[in-house]
Chain A
Amino acid sequence: MIETFETSVHAITARSSRDRIEVCKSSRAHGFGVRVIKDGAIGFSFYSKESEKEHAIKRAMQSASLSPKEHYALPQPLKPTKVKQYDSELAHMEEEGVIELLIDTINGASEEAEPSKGEVSVGIATTHVSNSNGIDVSQKDTILSAYVSAKKEEAIGYEYFAKKKIEQDLTPLGKEAGHWASHSAGGKPINFQGQIIISVETISNFFETCVLRNLNGENLRRKKSLWKQDDVVMHPNFSLKEDPTIPWTAGAVSTDDEGLPTQKKTLIEHGIVKKILYDTRTANLVATKSTGNGFRAGFNTVPLITSTNLILSTDKPTDIFDVKKGVYVKELMGFHNMNPITGDFSLDIVQGFTVKNGELDRPIKGCMLVGNFLDALKTARLGKQEQGKTYFFSPEMQFDGKVIHK
């Protein structure tokens, strides 16, 4: 049995420093990944020119001869999910358009602060998966991503977003970064214990670092996960869904990189683990089915279990800003420093404010948020308005926590 994954990517990126463009670049890559199954064992290789195909297949066969006999079979064809993920207007954007969007972010950031760094990137990707079971699936994707930072005195504001549809004007993104920089200037350190409110970006970073690893089928199979099916892991009001079908979002995708349709699914319901994510190889090892989550980092890698869009929600939205005294944390720094297994963290607050009578009051700096995120999830509360700029959507979160002066 054989599977070929072909991908072709073209991206135009413009990067700025302060109010000028540093460089504009175009990058193209095209290549193939080939998986073979021999006596139930998997082998893999890759190549970038059609003429190297035979040689790559030989290498993949050699790789299979060393792999364990897992009685693995490539997936069978299923009807693809229809998802809005290709915007022809974005696909036809040329370098002038990308530069214009970058200039928008600079102009926006300049309104209340000084622009610091910026980057806008537009990409088009086509993938084609075919296997000897009859899977023959192609998909096209577009992506627009942008990042901007602004400075005011010693304070920095950041904003970023990614989506699969064109935006005509990125001035508001720059404006927002400038606004946060401007309002963060003059921060003072504090010590505080009480209600902490964290932004959606911060929740997303915590999920990526210490939550998602516990919903990964391979980690569960190998006893590297803290959670299993039916464990109570969050507040009973919380649910976590994965939804690759939300049109134009960064995680919108119709099939995974094994050619299987993606699905909308509930991973956690009322705080209880309901579904674990699988690719076909891991699913086969534990006698279950793939959840359509086998994605690759490029043509030269095998599929790995990866989530798409995640939506954290609550049955009982609360006005989480309705506090007399609290702290709002917009950005934390250094998530790779936290313990991804235990959930213990001690992270610097890059942007934060005291909250007084339900309003942001004064900027804070020189402080750390300390605690355990996995514990916090069991007692936390979620706000009313869902937000999200990339792959993670949720209201802001409130929990009892501690801020210490450095």
Chain B
Amino acid sequence: MLETLEKAINKSTADFIETRLVESNSTRINIRNDEINLTTSGYLIEFGVRVLVKGSWGFASANDPTELSNCIKSAEKLARTSAKHSIEAKLAEAPVSIEHINVKVKKDPRDISLEDKANRCLELSKRGFNQEKVQAADLIYMDSQSNWYYLNSEGTKLEYTPTASFFMFNAFVKDQQLMSFSDQQGGKYGFELLDNKEFFVDNVCEDALLLLHSKLPPKGKTQVIIDPEMAGTLAHEAVGHALEADTIINKNSIVNRIGQKIGSRIVNITDDPTIPKEFGSYPFDSEGTPGLKTVLVENGRVKNFLQSRETAFKTDKQVTGNARSQGPSEFPLVRMSNTFFERGDQSFEELLEGVNGVYVRGFKGGVVDTDTGFFQFACPHGNIIKDGELTEPLRDITILGNIIETLRHVNAIGNDLQTGFPGMCGKAGQGVPVGGGGPHIRIKEVLIG
């Protein structure tokens, strides 16, 4: 495959050309209640070509490899046509690599029959559906094995064969009212992802039941302890997005310089695509640059921005391997990988000591306005903390605030770092898999909405 791609790009007259091609075999299993709803498997091929002509980008994609030459011509034409109105793009240096990475998993999904996969999913969904007050249960399982090829006119040639799997379980419970709770797991795993997941399903059902007896939170400013999943959200949504170099270059971020103080001295945040098995891990980004661990915040100050080759040139920094796209059919953008708060030195019990406030658990959705630094996260549940004890359960907690103000109010960080919370991050209409987490974190004052 690399040879075919190489022949095609060698004919291009562009100043820079790169092509990405992905072939993937995928399976999807949908279970509804105690029944297999549908199993789907299929094979897809997709590719994209990006060219730079006199500083102007052009991009074309298709899913028929015989269209490769036409796509190159089309991308070149688009670059030339838009040149008059384009931003002038230049690329920072990136290592030229020739590599073939074959990632092995414990239970290769290709070695397991569709029937065996479906039956295991059914077993887990039935377990949930048969629990007390569960009205409906949905389980979705997906796996994919891909061949990923990257080639550019600077001589980089990469081949990578990732396997990934994901599953989500959603329980709907009812007594006086209807409530729903879902949780998900995923990463660079094979079918072993579904090993020992009975406890996970039970937890989802328990959490759903808990919502039936939970109150809406009291609104107003209060002291808050967030769990590792919410810590990951805070690191990703509130900090990571504001440190994406394209956002900073376009003056759409509240952060504007390295060294800027954005948090208390105990705040340390890292982005790392090299953690094995995480949902947001990768050996190379969509520009063929190796993924690197990047310290974003050190002792409360901005240490690095996340960079693509284009933004690294503009900001005169090194590349960080954070140019990612949803697939080969999309244009790479500066994106995070696995973003997390580094561990502190206190136990959860120490964090709770003497606190009156709210404990926030899990993550439902979030938005951040990097321009103003305002963020808003929705959390499925939590508890009132009274004199250092977790008391009444709460549901639908919205926490909101300003990035800098909130990080400056971080007054204690736990020693219980936990990662492995998969999610899809959206930007400019593209979703990419990301991971992250953190330890428990105490924040002196946050607004509960």
Contact = CB atoms under 8 A, between A and B. Distances in A.
A28 B67 contact: yes
B74 A26 contact: yes
A333 B37 CA distance: 34
A317 B377 CA distance: 36
A387 interface: no
A56 B26 CA distance: 13
A55 B38 CA distance: 18
B396 interface: yes
Contacts of B377: 337
Contacts of A156: 369, 371
B153 interface: no
Contact of A222 (B32, B62, B74, B401): B32
A31 B40 CA distance: 15
Contact of A17 (B38, B179, B250): B250
A302 B38 contact: yes
B41 A63 contact: yes
Contact of B44 (A28, A222, A300, A347): A300
24 contacts: A21-B82, A21-B85, A23-B82, A25-B78, A27-B60, A29-B329, A31-B63, A46-B42, A47-B42, A52-B43, A62-B39, A62-B41, A62-B114, A66-B36, A95-B81, A116-B250, A222-B33, A334-B366, A337-B364, A337-B366, A344-B216, A346-B396, A368-B449, A404-B449
B212 to A, nearest CB: 11
B391 interface: no
A270 interface: no
A124 B291 CA distance: 37
Q: Which of A21, A99, A302 has the most CB of B within 10 A?
A: A21
A350 B367 CA distance: 12
A151 B114 CA distance: 52
B322 interface: no
Interface in B73-91: 74-75, 77-79, 81-82, 85-87
A67 B37 contact: yes
B244 to A, nearest CB: 13
A151 B372 CA distance: 12
B60 A26 contact: yes
A29 B63 CA distance: 6
A127 B202 CA distance: 43
Contact of B365 (A43, A65, A95, A334): A334
Nearest to A96: B81
Nearest to B88: A20
Interface in A348-406: 348, 350, 368, 370, 404, 406
Contacts of B59: 23-26
A44 interface: yes
Interface string A103-147: 100000000000010010000000000000000000000000000
Nearest to A301: B40
A341 interface: yes
Given A66-B115, A348-B374, A48 B250 contact: no
A338 interface: yes
Contacts of A15: 428
Interface stretch (B170-178, B188-196, B342-350): B170-178
A26 B178 contact: no
A65 B118 CA distance: 11
Given A26-B78, A336-B378, A63 B38 contact: yes
B58 A24 contact: yes
Given A24-B59, A156-B371, A348-B400, A222 B87 contact: no
A224 B135 contact: yes
Interface string A10-23: 00101101101111
Contacts of B64: 28, 30, 48-49
A42 B449 contact: no
A27 B57 contact: no
B59 to A, nearest CB: 4
B35 A68 contact: yes
B253 interface: no
B136 interface: yes
A404 B62 contact: no
Given A21-B86, A95-B82, A337-B377, A154 B371 contact: yes
A263 B219 CA distance: 45
Contacts of A223: 135-136, 172, 174
Given A28-B67, A30-B64, A406-B449, A99 B81 contact: yes
B130 to A, nearest CB: 15
Contacts of A31: 44, 63
B23 to A, nearest CB: 11
Interface residues of A, number: 67
Interface string A52-83: 10011001001101111000000000000000
Interface in B325-366: 329, 331, 364-366
Contacts of A406: 400-401, 447, 449
Contacts of A339: 396
* Chain B interface residue number, banded: 35 or more
B363 to A, nearest CB: 10
Contact of A45 (B41, B365, B366, B398): B41
B61 interface: yes
Nearest to A147: B429
Nearest to B58: A24
B180 interface: yes
Interface in B1-59: 32-33, 35-46, 56-59
Interface string B220-264: 000000000000000000000000001000101000000000000
B230 to A, nearest CB: 13
A375 to B, nearest CB: 13
Interface in B431-449: 447, 449
Q: Which of A21, A25, A342 has the most CB of B within 10 A?
A: A25
A22 B42 contact: no
Contacts of B374: 348
A223 B64 CA distance: 43
B376 interface: yes
Nearest to A55: B43
A23 B57 contact: yes
Contacts of A25: 58-61, 75, 78, 331
Given A15-B428, A336-B367, 5 more contacts: A23-B59, A68-B36, A222-B33, A223-B172, A370-B219
A45 B135 contact: no
Given A23-B57, A56-B42, A333 B114 contact: no
Interface in A303-326: none
B180 A341 contact: yes
A67 B42 contact: no
Contact of B118 (A48, A66, A368): A66
Contacts of A151: 371
A286 interface: no
A346 B449 contact: yes
A226 interface: yes
Given A25-B59, A26-B78, A66-B118, A59 B42 contact: yes
A20 B246 CA distance: 14
Contact of B252 (A14, A116, A350): A116
A22 B57 contact: yes
B81 A63 contact: no
Contact of A27 (B35, B41, B61, B77): B61
